[in-house]
Structure 1
Amino acid sequence: MTAKRLFNTILATIALTTLASCEIETSDNGDFDGFWHLERVDTLATGGTLDLSKKRVFWGVQYKLISVYDIDKEGTFGYYLRFKQTRDQIVTHTPYKNNWHQDVENGGDHPIDDPTQLAPYGINNLEEEFVKEKLNGGQMILRSKTLRLKFKRF
């Protein structure tokens, strides 16, 4: 074996080993991924409805995180939550206050332990189960034990 061929073989082996050790993570969230405008919240027990269609309350879903925020609230950057998804439900958990802009010096985002901070986004518990009543490219309807959330893809 010539030195050039040996060098090329070693180089190819290193390249293949490097590529094989890289893990490319992709989202398998399907239609759940995207930017969702929360347009309506129905209270299941009373039949009451809150129309948010003129408000700017959003859920942004990407990979393993949900970002919830109200653009009209000055000085707030919303919250981040992790989630688990099955074919028919979504479970949000581990919420953090998004301090990206305001609190970089003190370690950035901080976990929250008060679920009332999430209520304006249709989330009433630190860990909340939602049944997927409808989820397609343009609409999403999620139902918790107490609320039905209706979204439109933005």
Structure 2
Amino acid sequence: MKRYAWLIAIGCMLLTLAACDWESSDNGNLDGFWQMTDVDTLATGGHENVKEQALTWSFQGCILEVRQATHKGTPIYIFKFSHEGDVLKTFNPYLNNRDMEDPLVEDVKDIEPFGFSALSQQFKVLKLTGSRLILQSPTLRLTFRKY
């Protein structure tokens, strides 16, 4: 009888595992939490160290979350993104509002502090390792460290 109990228990465990939905991502080194450290303005050659501003980008699945992590209650923005080869495209930015429906961002000024100059933005991926990310838009070069 003990044999059957063990077989039934193992069978139940296997059925439970088979019913689980495993979520995976093909984002490789891009997945995770990134802190913006430097912003370079391409037209003027300007450089700004923004590490103390705690501007963060977080990639998971097909979602990008950007926020300023220094103060509680600062806005959080959610984007869809695609990453193919050396091109990162961000689009459909929403303001994360847990109390109401998340509104679509309509003014690019809301997301400019995070390195965006358009609501749908394309970046060239200049460098992507497990610890460093460098993106370039038509106007800016953004440098991140994995946090």
Q: Is the TM-score greater than 0.5?
A: yes
What secondary structure, in the 3-state scheme, does the structure 1 residue paired with 2:53 have? coil
Number of residue equivalences: 136
TM-score normalised by L of structure 1: 0.79
- Structure 1 25/74 Cα, relative in aligned 2: closer, same or farther at 3 Å? closer
Query: What's 2:104 paired with?
Result: 111
Query: What's 1:12 paired with?
Result: none
Percent identity over the alignment?
Answer: 37
For 1:46-57, list aligned pairs within 5 A. 46-57=44-55
Matched, 1:62 2:63: no
Q: Which 4+ residue blocks in structure 1 deviate beyond 4 angstroms?
A: none
Alignment RMSD, CA only? 2.2
Q: Which runs of 5+ in 2 are unaligned?
A: 1-14
Query: What's 1:143 paired with?
Result: 136
1:29 counterpart (24, 27, 35): 27
Larger Rg: 1
Once residues 46 and 76 of structure 2 are traced to their aligned partners in structure 1, the CA distance between those partners, rounded to angstroms, is 25
Matched, 1:133 2:131: no
Query: What's 2:5 paired with?
Result: none
Once residues 104 and 122 of structure 2 are traced to their aligned partners in structure 1, the CA distance between those partners, rounded to angstroms, is 19
What secondary structure, in the 3-state scheme, does the structure 2 residue paired with 1:149 have? strand
> What whole-Å deviation, never above 9, does each CA across 1:118-152 have from its counterpart, x for those lacking one?
11100111110000000000000000000000000
Q: Which runs of 5+ in 1 are unaligned?
A: 1-14
Once residues 43 and 73 of structure 1 are traced to their aligned partners in structure 2, the CA distance between those partners, rounded to angstroms, is 26
What secondary structure, in the 3-state scheme, does the structure 1 residue paired with 2:29 have? helix
> What whole-Å deviation, never above 9, does each CA across 1:1-46 have from its counterpart, x for those lacking one?
xxxxxxxxxxxxxx6xxx59x8644110010001000001101000
